[in-house]
């Protein structure tokens, strides 16, 4: 497969990875903030009343995050399309970039949960947050902080996704130099 088809494969893989991350992420955030979903997100994403709550949380996660994968990956994937000589290295680097983004988003979600727990127990953020009707204050802080922090960390992961591409370029160029040296 050439590099251009690989570009589209990476965009689809990024969408799938982001959707899966969103579904799994929302299982944890539902556990720590169920009314954030039942009283807020289910209405926002039009999740029907007959849908089991855990499935509803997963569906919210898929709908809220699938598009972030291609959006965050696009700059690094375009860079790799131009900069990485080999399609095989480009694919490997792109998948590595997706992994880096998911890893950072996971750490961001956990940091957000910690921040939400601190904000809940101390009341530190109460002056700056307008709490909507519906979800409990504690659920909104815990699940809401998780979501916001994972989006932020995922966006920062978009920068980190350049590093596997850059490394793949260095490796491919180094191999090409060795082959040229051996040929002469």
Per-residue tokens: 110 = 């956990």
Q: Which residue has the higher pLDDT, 45 or 181?
A: 45
Q: pTM (2 decimals)?
A: 0.91
Q: Which of 13, 4, 160 is nearest to 81 (CA)?
A: 4
The span from the CA of 12 to the CA of 30, in Å, is: 27
* Per-chain mean pLDDT for the chain: 95
For residue range 103-145, what is the model confidence (pLDDT) as tens digits? 999 999 999 999 999 999 999 999 999 888 899 999 999 999 9
Which residues are CB-contacts of 13 (< 8 A; sequence separation ≥ 6)?
A: 69, 94, 95, 98
pLDDT at 21 over 70: yes
What percent of the chain shows pLDDT beyond 90? 88
Q: What is the DSSP string of 64-111?
A: HHTTHHHHHHHHHHHHHHHH-S-HHHHHHHHHHHHHHHHHHHHHHHHH
């Amino acid at each position: 497969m050439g590099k251009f088809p690989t570009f589209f494969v990476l965009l689809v893989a990024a969408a799938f990875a982001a959707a899966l991350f969103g579904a799994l992420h929302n299982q944890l955030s539902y556990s720590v903030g169920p009314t954030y979903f039942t009283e807020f997100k289910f209405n926002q994403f039009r999740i029907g009343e007959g849908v089991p709550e855990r499935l509803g949380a997963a569906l919210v996660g898929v709908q809220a995050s699938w598009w972030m994968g291609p959006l965050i990956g696009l700059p690094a994937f375009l860079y790799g399309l131009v900069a990485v000589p080999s399609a095989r290295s480009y694919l490997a680097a792109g998948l590595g970039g997706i992994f880096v983004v998911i890893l950072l988003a996971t750490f961001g979600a956990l940091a957000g949960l910690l921040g939400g727990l601190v904000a809940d127990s101390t009341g530190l953020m109460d002056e700056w947050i307008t709490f909507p009707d519906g979800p409990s204050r504690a659920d909104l802080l815990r699940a809401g902080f998780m979501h916001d922090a994972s989006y932020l960390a995922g966006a920062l992961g978009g920068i980190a996704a350049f590093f596997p591409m850059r490394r793949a370029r260095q490796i491919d160029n180094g191999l090409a130099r060795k082959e040229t040296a051996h040929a002469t």
